[in-house]
Structure 1
Amino acid sequence: MIQERYKLWAENPYFDEETRAELSRLQDPKEIEDRFYTDLEFGTGGLRGILAAGRNRMNKYVVRKVTQGLADLIAEYGQRGRERGVVIAYDSRRFSPEFAREAALVLARNGIKAYLFESLRPTPELSFAVRHLHTLAGIVITASHNPKEYNGYKVYWEDGGQVPPEQANRILAKIQEREDWLGIEPLAEDEARRQKLLVMIGEEIDRAYLKKVQTLSIHPELNLKSGNKLKIIYTPLHGAGTMLVRKALAQAGFHSVFVVPEQEKPDSEFTTVPFPNPEIPSTFDLARSYALEQGADLILATDPDADRLGVAVRAGDGSYVQLTGNQAGVILMHYILGQKQALGTLPAKAAVIKTIASTDLADEVARSFKVKVENVLTGFKFIAEKVHEMEEEGWGQFQFGFEESYGYLAGTFVRDKDGIIAAVLLAEAALYYKINGGRTLLDVIEDIYTRFGYYIEDQKSFTLEGIEGKEQMAKIMHHLRSLEFREIGGIPVERIDDYEQRFGKRWETGEVSILTLPRSDVLRFSFRGGGFVMARPSGTEPKIKFYFSIKEEKREGLEETLQRVKEDILARVQEV
């Protein structure tokens, strides 16, 4: 089977000469097996993979096939579904423009209208555009913060959120129904334009989106009056954020913004950073050098598709301290809820949403404002689904959502994490605290810790690729389930939640409860008094991830306790 697939791709003239030549040069049987033993997995709303020829790689033929699956689903919605169409955006990665155009023209071949952004745009603007244009679906070509060798394809549905499980399963079924790769051809571009099946969009969507972003400011007058007093260094990390982040900050009143020149322009090689990921401290090196030179208050960094935001804050000694995703999320949530409460604009049914991988500190802060907290599975699509549920059922009014991996959202006109919105609101919070009391965001998080307890978080990932990697991850999760932890690193475990088997158990009482979140291969061990350890195989990368969160009443000893907990868990993993 593998050899047949390989032979088809290496010899059939449907595949272009470059693809056939690349495959004919392959000598390693293991590499051939890995490229053809399976199809690149369509999961958590899309797919992501290494750029190369083959069924288990990211290339234009895989883009065509997935798009055809989406087109087959849209066909079930009849002519109205075809006319509503699909909006498509892309970032600065290798082949992103080409893949976006392939998708648009495959849709056109199926008589489906495609709205294609004229140049690269952030993922959150794509989410907005789906809602603004009332399309049935959206596509964004991006691999987010992954290394330059990767690209990906994410599907959004009509509410602007990543495609929900039911629709994702229907798309997957359509993809799997079609074994034949050879009949999927894009329509010629001039013909697609002539039939008005390809419509180019851009500036008009930018204006509408930025107008909505402007409505989220809590103290717009303060921003316009004093925004120049906050000095910001911004880097788009060679990605899609540069235009909209700058415009959004400027319209809010923040004009003292310096953009890192070496990282300002799109660059698919991400030349100045090893990984274009604002979670990694070294990503801030260039921006930090400019911040030191200029005495900036704040450094902001968006990832290539500008849905994530990293933040570093000037400390009292003049150095720059990077906030974790949890810290930035808690600061933003505290600012939004606190200011709205003070102004009398916090709704009675106010609600915030966070993922189960994010800090328990957020739950404590929200409860102090008498605001409902919803915890969802890891992945921003689940936050967007919960926002939609609130609106449909009327039980809550969404104020803020975040995940620990640098994703934040306020407002409901976007249904995914949004680095542009986060940049404006964090700048506003930094300005507010600077003007009112001369405090920094570091002072704010310290005040929160003093009141609720000190939290420290960390992560550890293992990359396990290919067939063997999947088997290894399954063995690790099975082993952890078999251990029934009563304590980890000397800290008592109060509760275990197994989201695969969908039960939760409290050790002290033996009480077992049914978990209502969707089934997912996740284990979460909650400590008595706060904090947790969580294990989950990633849905988008060949990795198994471990999340650590430790709480103490005082800062002293936090690092040592975290280290003990990590060593205990990782020793169990090594047993496998």
Structure 2
Amino acid sequence: MSIQDRYRLWTEDPYFDEETRQELREITDPQEIEDRFYTDLEFGTGGLRGIIGAGTNRMNKYVVRKVTQGLAECVCDHGQEGMRRGVVIAYDSRRYSPEFALEAALVLAKNGIKVYLFDALRPTPELSFTVRHLRALAGIVVTASHNPKIYNGYKVYWDDGGQVPPVKADQILARIEARESWLGIEPLSLEEAKRCGLLQIIGEEIDKPYLARVGKLALYPDLDKQKGKELSIVYTPLHGAGNILVRRALSELGFSSVNVVLEQEHPDPEFTTVPYPNPEIPATFELARKYGNAVKADLLLATDPDADRLGVALRTPQGDYIQLTGNQIGILLTYYILSQKKALGTLPDNATIIKTVASTDLADEVARYFNVQVENVLTGFKFIAEKEMEMEEGGWGTFEFGFEESYGYLAGDFVRDKDGIIASVILAEAALYYQQIEGRNFFAVLERIYQQFGYYLDDQESLALEGKLGKEEMALIMDSLRQEEIHELCGISIERFDDYELRIGKNFETGQTYPLKLPRSNVLRYSFEGGGFVMVRPSGTEPKIKFYFSVKADTLAGAEDFLRKVKEDVMQRINQIRAV
């Protein structure tokens, strides 16, 4: 079906509601029509994410219906038992999130599948927990995570509580693509779904056991109860789903001095106080800093709209606040968990941490110091969850902690995705422990780590390349880098080059190639001699190509100079490719 045929169908067929047809009829730009209909919104290993609007390449209820029908058919493949186990659905504070969640629930119910739908917005990690807790076959969370307000998305989870693995995602995609028609997918009525017992609303009965498991992750619960009030925290949910559970989790452990940023406390799909609801971005902490200055808070915490990511800013001795990078948070949590479990005698012999190839090599050095194994996986927390499950099933490792540089962290075995609630609790306890027991703050702890293992600094750059032309330009950049053998950057030798798309690596010192064991992915990684790397990959969730920089030096000044030079070198090369 041509672009014009698709456009005509969506503007004329009564299956599509009048609001949808009118929105499309008002478009006068041919390029806009092409962008909305030249393809279907891509269903990847994590699900969907796209701009809200009418069209096959947008997030709307008809796209949700079609994808959900594909998922429903895969659930039905598991027979009556799979249909009875059912699907859990959660959603965040974005535009149309409740509507899309209900639409998915009623399409599943139409297929005779049991659905557990949350009574209000909930964090993504709680959805992961609930799939495991209820022994459901699958889960859906309607969210676009930290993307701008014009986006929404649809993430699919399987029975282990992790994001749907590639094999299962391919099966769902095959069912979606096998259905050529957009017409005829009719959801069951809400009244009928409830009457038949196919739709069950859930809430507090899930919150309680989830929070109980979070609380058990505390290493020093008595310290938390006795001294938790001494740690002053400012928290912002950035208008999202973390507000209630983050505050309850901290309060139940004893952290009672928590001030919430009132202007950002309640759900707001417009995200009116932030240009971009992403805790990685310093601007998101602007209001939190004002609150922090007013109460002299030790920590500023921010979770993104679906509360799976955590951003942190620390109060300096001068009284201002410095934001930590995702890698710095990951290192602090890794060091705290491993060092304190070792001191308590609870660190098992087969202890393992899992991190992504985009995350700092400093974690590998810290882990080795504590005789802990490191598993490096592809970018995306689903790969951390898959490796954790592989360890459990194989009995060859005990998962202690997992993180990715993009502000995602996980401890415990009851959630299979990054968890901003868990991260908030462990980070608060770590800050309290160092404050009350060792008389130092996180800056001093980081400095001690750097002096022991070397100064690792990291940064990111990204290019926003939207639409069809953007995809083509990303492909050009990746192809050009893949064809050029880069042996040095800003005068520093590249020791190894790994191409995860071809699954081949090369050691430039020996000239030997070697196979890469990780799954195929469009990622290029350049490892420096002596430590650190540059990595390039198109984002799997945003119309961006990302550049990751991680450097190591003996001094902070040396690391800062190295980081500046390597960024300049790489981005100059990229600009030359784009100029061709």
Normalising by structure 1, we get a TM-score of: 0.99
The match for 1:525 is 526
Report what 1:29 is aligned to. Answer: 30
Q: Which runs of 5+ in 1 are unaligned?
A: none
Q: For the residues of structure 2 that align with 1:49 and 1:127, how far apart are their CA atoms?
A: 22
User: What is the CA deviation profile of residues 223-242 of structure 1, one whole-angstrom value per residue up to 9, with x for unaligned ones?
Assistant: 00100000000000000000
d(CA) in 2 for partners of 1:59, 1:278: 26
CA contact (8 A) 1:380 1:403 kept: yes
2:111 equivalent in structure 1: 110
Shift of 1:215: 0.8
Quote the Cα distance in structure 2 between the aligned partners of 1:321 and 1:465.
Answer: 32
Tell me the equivalent position of 2:344: 343
- Structure 1 contact 480–572 (Cα < 8 Å) conserved: no
Matches within 5 A, 1:203-242: 203-242=204-243
Any idea what the Cα deviations from partners look like across 1:105-157, whole Å, max 9, x if unmatched? 00000000110000000000000000000000000000000000000000000
Question: Can you give the 5+ residue segments of structure 2 that lack an aligned partner in the other structure?
Answer: none
Counterpart in the other structure of 2:261 = 260
TM superposition shift of 1:527 = 0.3
Give the stretch that moved more between structures: 456-465 or 520-529. Answer: 456-465
1:169 matched to 2:170? The reply is yes
Shift of 1:560: 2.3
Task: State the distance in 2 between where 1:254 and 1:60 align.
Answer: 41
Partner SS, residue 268 of structure 1: coil
1:190-209 alignment runs, 5 A limit: 190-209=191-210
Aligned length: 576
In 2, Cα distance between the equivalents of 1:562 and 1:44?
33
Distance in 2, matches of 1:224 and 1:216, equals 14
* Aligned-partner residue type, residue 430 of structure 2: A
Displacement of 1:189 in angstroms is 0.3
Match of 2:244 in 1: 243
Matched residue SS, 1:519: coil
Partner of 1:396: 397
SS at match of 1:556: helix
**Contact 1:234–1:301 (Cα < 8 Å) also in 2:** yes
Deviation at 1:437, TM superposition (A): 2.5
Residue identity in the other structure for 1:559: E
Q: Moved runs in structure 1, 4+ residues, more than 4 A?
A: none
Shift of 1:491: 1.1
Q: CA RMSD in A?
A: 0.6
For 2:442 and 2:205, locate their aligned partners in 1 and report how far apart those are by CA, in whole Å: 35
Q: Once structures 1 and 2 are overlaid, which stretch shifts more, 18-27 or 461-470?
A: 461-470
Contact 1:552/1:558, CA 8 A, preserved across alignment: yes
Could you say what secondary structure the match of 2:556 adopts? coil
d(CA) in 1 for partners of 2:532 and 2:121?
A: 40
| One-letter code aligned to 1:374 | E
Q: Please say if residues 334 and 365 of structure 1, whose CA atoms lie closer than 8 Å, have aligned partners that are also in contact.
A: yes
- How do 1:54-203 and structure 2 match up within 5 A? 54-203=55-204
- Once the 2 structures are TM-superposed, how far is the Cα of residue 568 of structure 1 from its aligned partner? 1.2
Query: 1:180: how far off?
Result: 1.1
Letter in 2 for 1:506: N
Cα distance, 1:558 vs structure 2: 2.2
User: Percent sequence identity over matched residues?
Assistant: 68
Distance 2:37 2:526 in 1: 38
Read off the aligned partner of 1:423 and give its amino acid letter. S
- One-letter amino acid of the structure 2 residue matched with residue 199 of structure 1: Q
Q: Are 1:231 and 1:256, in contact at CA under 8 Å, matched by a contact in 2? A: yes
Partner Cα separation in structure 2 for residue 153 and residue 32 of structure 1: 23
Deviation at 1:466, TM superposition (A): 1.7
Q: Structure 2 counterpart of 1:569, which letter?
A: V
Deviations 1:391-437 (A, max 9, x none): 01011000000000000000010000000000000000000000012
Tell me the secondary structure at the aligned position of residue 435 of structure 2. helix
- Aligned partner of 2:310 in structure 1 is 309
Distance in 1 (CA, whole Å) between partners of 2:317 and 2:37 is 55
**Residue aligned with 2:557, SS:** coil
Shift of 1:465: 1.5
Partner of 1:372: 373
Between 316-325 and 89-98, report the one with greater CA deviation: 316-325
Specify the code of the residue in structure 1 equivalent to 2:560: E
Partner SS, residue 341 of structure 2: helix
Q: 1:201 Cα deviation (Å)?
A: 0.1
Is contact 1:43-1:540 (8 Å) kept? Answer: no
Structure 1 CA distance for aligned equivalents of residues 114 and 486 of structure 2? 54
SS in 2 for 1:557: helix
Aligned partner of 2:553 in structure 1 is 552
Cα separation, 1, equivalents of 2:317 and 2:157: 43
What is the DSSP-based 3-state SS (H/G/I as helix, E as strand, rest coil) of the residue aligned with 1:35?
A: helix
Q: Does the Cα contact within 8 Å between 1:298 and 1:312 map onto a contact in 2?
A: yes
- Does the 8 Å contact 1:237/1:302 carry over to 2? yes
**Which residue is equivalent to 2:274?**
273
2:538: which partner in 1? Answer: 537
2: CA distance between counterparts of 1:436 and 1:514? 47
